[in-house]
Amino acid sequence: MHLTFTLNGNEIQVEAADDRRVVDLLREDLGLTGTKEGCGTGECGACTILADGESRLSCLMVAAQLPGAHITTVEGMTAQTDGALLQQAFVEEGAVQCGFCTPGMEMAALALLRQDDAPSRDTIREGLSGNLCRCTGYVKIVDAVERAASDIRSCRDRENT
Amino acid sequence: MQKQPLAAGRPEIRGDAPTKASGRERFAADCYPDNLIWAGAVRAGVPHGRLQAVDSAAALAVPGVLKVLTAKDVPGPNRHGIIHQDMPVLADDRILYPGDAVALVLAESREALRRAIKQVRVVVQPLPGVFDPEAALAQGAPPLHQEFADNVLMAAEIRKGDALQALTACAVVVDGEFSVPMQAHVFLETENGIARLEEDGGVAMTVSTQSPFRDRFEVGNALGIPYHKIRIVSPHLGGGFGGKDGATVQCLLALAALHADGRPVKMQWNREENLAAGYKRHACQLSYQLGAKKDGTLHALHCQLVYDTGAYAHLGGEVMELGMEHAGGPYRIAHTLIEGKCVFTNNPVAGAMRAFGVCQPTFAFESMMDLLAAKLGMDPLQLRLRNALVKGDVNCAGVRLTTSTDIVGCLEMLQSHPLWRQREAWKRQAPANTRRGVGLAAVFNAAGYGGKVRDAAIAKVELSPKGAIVVHNAVADMGQGNASAFLQIAGHILGQDASRLRLRHPDTTTAYPSGSSSAGRTTYTFGNALIRACEELRARLINRAGLLLAVDSDRDVRLVPGKVIHPPSEREMPLEQLAAFMPQEDRVCISQFVAPICEQVPDTSKGFLIGFPHVIFAYGAHLARIEVDALTGAIRVCDYLAVTDGGAVVNPCMFDQQVQGGVAQGIGYALMEEVATHEGAVRSGDLATYLIPGALDLPDVISCAFQGREESGPFGLKGVGEVALNGPLPALANGVADACGVRLRQAPLTPERVLAAREAQQCI
Amino acid sequence: MRTVLTPSCLEEFFSLLDAHPDALPMAGGTDLLLKLRNTAAADARPVLALGRMAEMHGIRAEGEGLSIGAAETFSGIIADPLARQQAPLLSLAARQVGGPAIRNMATIGGNICTASPAGDSLPPLYLLDAAVEIVSRRGRRRLPISQFILGPGRTSLGEGELVTRVLLPRDGCFPCQSFEKVGRRRSMAISVTSFAGQARLDDHGSIAAARFAWGSVAPTVARFPALEHALVGARLDDETIRHAAEIVRSGVSPIDDIRAGAQYRRIVAGNLLVRFLEGLRG
């Protein structure tokens, strides 16, 4: 099918089989390999993207669900200030080890921070509970999200004054 | 603004963090060459038998399928392995476990590949299988490997003094039987790679591998290709933990490339294939007897360890060897008799996994220490302090410790921590239907390959034409951050900031053999070689700059970010300019390091091939504060403290990363991870049934470093990649005993086992 | 390649179903796409995506109760003020389905029609006396959920039928409501045993009314109406609680599977009731 949707702020048109998995469409057809596949069954969260502002698992989405959707992948994160601050916090707080869970983790964290701008550590863990990491034990990832929340609030406060 | 050079000892930002955080880092899985062919294996699906036929007619009829290869298409001996070449690339006669690859399908699309694999018909004449070491060792068990009598890959012992006699002289003796299951690595990036045939008949590959240099031998030996014609690049791995040590996709990929008419081939195991056919941690049964004097001095240990190595040898003997060296814990014990058997079964292949062979006996001996403490009426921390090794002691394997040994320091730091000091008050505040407990573990883990193996590295560092410092890494970075550590070391010695430092991923064409990324050895071994190479490069750059700046003495010539300066004359030269004056051969420095070996090998061991003994150990003291839900048996880890002796700390952030990550995998091992099998086939075949801890299952692990120094290590460090994983299982088991009075001896400590033990003991 | 058809209204849905009677309905896709991953790929049945039909969306008052679109996601239910107010037990359970992204995708209609013995929304829906509204060319009908779900993976949905709404009557007055899910992990876990409970105490602190439902311990949600009846007027002493738990333990029919043994599930089913009843004592 021929589909039109918005990807990282730009309208794009692609040809894809109806049932092509969105994770494959992103990685193989569009060359956006930032979104990863870790299990293909919705258990690990490595394939997390934002669709219409909500986190979704692209390994359990098909192309036919894309028309009209606004999709954000890790490649489009830094176009917004909060995404850029979150990514920087991951880098600086030691939240990245092997890095394979990182894009999905950042997407889930971004979705969380857009719903709750001052989450407790427990709320952060809850928000990341659908994203598996095998390297970090999550401690520094929670540190990063906590720090990003603070950075984003400060940035917003400065903008408002 | 002045740029700051990287410095050892500071928590510098990891060099790979920006590209990984932005999704720009290209893992092997992210490589999709043009015109590629997909390759995938057909697996036997039966645990033991003789291969009779492979019928590929239906598979070949699937549109998009190009070829179906079988053993007859494999040139060369068709056998690979690390120590023993016993694994077929494609089975030609014997099937030894359900994951044995029987055919290799080449197709235009993943969809066609998936359909074709299901259509290949494999005919196997079944043979009786054995699914645990007891069955494999029993009279009349089917022999799985002709060269190994009685299905025993290795039988070995470590004997120091006369343990059997000494036990009779002990004031107190405790005994216990323990069992730990197979564990899966569950790296998020599954096994994968790409390969292409080259014009000279060689094969070029990009693989998610921990051992690109050794892989060439495995592939070359199996397929009859000269090893130097196999070129392997290993990008950053999305996790390894030992499961990518030893060929996974490599032989199959090379075989596919040989039959791909020059097209590039890609193979990516999906999660189900990773769980079914990937390597695992050895399951183990342990039987322990530990005796002490009345004052708590450990006096005698007799233990028997039986490791299930599965269908093929992989590194089974070496795993067991290391476990046996650690079987007595980080303690002085006068008499030890440690017996080990590593046994073949028709179970999935057990190979290398972080805390290689060691986490199994750690469960046993740290549980035994608490049992002993209870029987002696001694505080468990005091018992450990009384017996903890110090430098100069002889350990349970009979090796005199000549390197840094700071387990006492770790235990003392734990002792002064509020989590320990306030434990009784904390326990008293347990909510309704909850029991609180506190558990300790003293752990250690050797780094390096050990005796009779060359443990060495060759580092290459280069000033690029553009004036950047390029480190040619040769040891794969699987997430532990060794590449970043190397950039930090290079930055420290050459006075450069992160923007001037580049990493080249391990590439067998341009880097030099430096062993595998394993055994907690890479920062230590390659780091030491790199220090020498960087110091040579620094001296050379200063000398050449001195020449070009026309100064009469190099004494005051210095490297600072981006340039070389001579403050007395105020002359300076940007690195790009310096590079332009230097021929290529002058801009490259190569140096090497061979890790120290034991100078006085004790005569205590029998039966090992390689590995005995090790000489450098990391140590740790762990404390877990847990809650047991009396109604469901669920264990919640409320607090976890890990104090680690890793010598000096070169990057405190990366140090904590290793400890927190090791503890996380250890908690998974303790509470929920078990590869469930039935007749050799994995039943926990996806991530819904093989569970690893999520963000809600783990506390904020507190990592403290005991600040020590290992003289032989780069900037004084020791490898800490593995030691932390050993702590949680015994610490949690000891915590459960403290909370409820039940002693669990079988891992994982599932809610079901906790509840059953409480019911059996009629706990309130 | 599998065609995905996306009707935008019920009429279009039924036309497509007429043309493709073997089409596979998909709401959130979190169950269906997993099943398709494991099936023989030769199957070319089209998928009927249900997400764009207005009839399947929205959470609104209906009479004194609530009408929830079958394609409403668990996130939508959690966020909805009406649902939180009128069906707090459902909101509680919704929070424990899968993880955050799964909750954004998985639907209540899907959870019901998948009819897994471990479905997290099911025990609360049984307690809330939920009914499903089923639409076909022949008209509409409503069925209590306990009659709609027949067994593991089986419902009474017929040919040409679609569940469009989940109807909850006015919530009885139960000030004490609880949902507990026991899994092998604290999120992204299929439940090993789950429990939903509602209770109201009288002025003496005895039970005025209480209702319970269990998941994962029987082919469908387990209820104990006789026990609920017997507890009316009962005092919340240890003996009552112990006895009630015993009845539950003997009455459930769990199985052994890779996650847990039947005996464990049996014990925990009783214990979850113990926790709830002890909690009422305050």
Which CATH number covers residue A71? 3.10.20.30
In chain B, the residue whose alpha carbon lies closest to the alpha carbon of A106 is B21
Q: What is the pLDDT of residues C174-226, one digit of tens each?
A: 999 999 999 999 989 999 999 999 999 999 999 999 999 999 999 999 999 99
What phi, psi does B85 have (nearest 5°)?
-90, 85
Q: Is A70 found in the same domain as A31?
A: yes
Distance CA B705, CA B698 (A): 20
**Both A155 and A93 in a single domain?**
yes
Confidence at residue B2, expressed as pLDDT on a 0 to 100 scale: 72
Strands of the sheet containing A10-15, edge to edge, are A10-15, A2-7, A70-72, A48-51, A54-57
Cross-strand bridge partners of residue B702: B641
The predicted-structure confidence for B162-171, as pLDDT tens digits, reads as follows: 999 999 999 9
pLDDT at C170: 87
pTM of the model: 0.98
C185 part of contact set with chain A, CB < 8 Å: no
Number of neighbouring beta carbons within 10 Å of residue C35:
10
CA distance A45 to chain B (A): 10
The average confidence (pLDDT) of chain B is 97
* Whole-number Å distance between alpha carbons of B653 and C201: 54
Rounded Cα distance, B665 and B662, in Å: 5
Among the candidates A24, A50, A76, a domain finishes at A76
pLDDT band at C41 (very low <50, low <70, confident <90, very high): low
Q: Which residues, other chains included, contact A154 with Cβ-Cβ below 8 Å and sequence gap of 6+?
A: none
Query: pLDDT confidence of C39, banded at 50, 70, 90?
Result: confident
Same domain? A65 vs A134: no
Task: Name all domains of chain B by residue range, CATH numbers in brackets.
Answer: 17-26+456-594 (3.30.365.10), 31-127+191-268 (3.90.1170.50), 283-450+601-763 (3.30.365.10)
Q: How confident is the model at residue C171 (pLDDT cuts 50, 70, 90)?
A: confident
| Residue B697: pLDDT band with limits 50, 70, 90 | very high
Q: Give the model's confidence band at B139: pLDDT under 50 very low, under 70 low, under 90 confident, else very high.
A: very high
Average pLDDT score, chain C: 95
For residue B722, pLDDT over 70 is answered with yes
For residues A92 and A143, membership in a common domain is answered with: yes
Q: How confident is the model at residue A99 (pLDDT cuts 50, 70, 90)?
A: very high
Identify the pLDDT of residue B55: 98
pLDDT at B763: 65
Cα–Cα distance for residue pair B388/B154, rounded to 1 Å: 30
Query: A71 and A107: one domain?
Result: no
> Phi/psi of residue B320, each to 5°?
-65, -40
A135: domain CATH number?
1.10.150.120
Buried b (16+ CB within 10 A) or exposed e, B355-390: bbbbbbbbbbbbbbbbbbbeebebebbebbbbbbbe
Angle at B622 (CA atoms; ends B619, B625), nearest 5 degrees: 175
User: What is this model's ipTM?
Assistant: 0.99
Interacting residues of B245 by C-beta distance below 8 A, sequence separation 6+: B82, B210, B211, B279, B315, B351, B352, B516, B517, B518
Interval B78-126: pLDDT, tens: 999 999 999 999 999 999 999 999 999 999 999 999 999 999 999 999 9
Domain with A66, as residue range(s), is 2-76
Q: How many domains does chain A have?
A: 2
Q: What is the dihedral of CA B470, B475, B478, B482, to 10 degrees?
A: -60
pLDDT the model gives residue C187 = 87
Interchain proximity A65–C51, CB inside 8 Å: yes
Same domain, A119 and A150: yes
- Give the Cα separation of B680 and B100 in Å (integer): 11
DSSP state of B486: H
Rounded to the nearest 10 degrees, how much is the dihedral formed by the CA atoms of B236, B242, B248, B254?
A: 50
Q: Scan residues 655-694 of B and list those with Cβ closer than 8 Å to C.
A: 672, 676, 683-684, 688-689, 691, 693-694
How does residue B1 score in pLDDT terms, banded at 50, 70 and 90?
low
What whole-number distance in Å separates Cα of residue A98 and Cα of residue A132?
13
Considering the domain architecture, whether residues A104 and A64 belong to the same structural domain is answered as no
CB-based contact A36 B238, cutoff 8 Å: yes
Q: What is the pLDDT of residues C65-108, one digit of tens each?
A: 999 999 999 999 999 999 999 999 999 999 999 999 999 999 99
Average of per-residue pLDDT across A119-139: 98
User: Does residue B270 belong to the interface with chain A, where contact is any CB pair within 8 Å?
Assistant: yes
In this structure, what token pair is assigned to residue B706? 């005991």
Please give the helix or strand (H or E) that residue B205 lies within, else none: strand B203-207
Which residues have a Cβ under 8 Å from the Cβ of B146 and sit 6 or more positions away?
A: none
Q: Are strands B335-344 and B298-310 parallel, antiparallel or unpaired?
A: parallel
CB pairs below 8 Å between B and C: how many? Answer: 59
Distance CA(C32)–CA(C16), nearest Å, equals 19
- State whether residue C187 is helix, strand or coil: coil
The enclosing H or E element of B307 equals: strand B298-310
| Of the residues A76, A110, A134, the one at which a domain ends | A76
Both tokens of A71, joined, read 């999709």
How far off is chain B from A91, nearest CA to CA, in Å? 5
pLDDT tens readout for residues B643-653: 999 999 999 99
Could C275 and B689 be called an inter-chain contact, meaning their C-beta atoms sit closer than 8 Å?
no
Subunit contact C100:A62, Cβ cutoff 8 A: no
Whether residues A153 and A84 share a domain: the answer is yes
The residue from A54, A76, A98 where one domain ends is: A76
Q: pLDDT (tens digit, 9 = 90+) per residue, A2-28? A: 999 999 999 999 999 999 999 999 999
Residues A84 and A98 in one domain: yes
On the question of pLDDT at B259 being above 70, the answer is yes
What kind and span of H or E run contains B505? none
Whether residues A156 and A82 fall in one domain = yes
Neighbours of A60 (CB within 10 A): 26
C74, C102, C190, best to mutate vs chain A, most A CBs in 10 Å: C102
In chain A, % helix, strand, coil (3-state, to 5) comes to 45, 15, 40
| pLDDT score, position C40 | 62
Same domain, A72 and A87: no
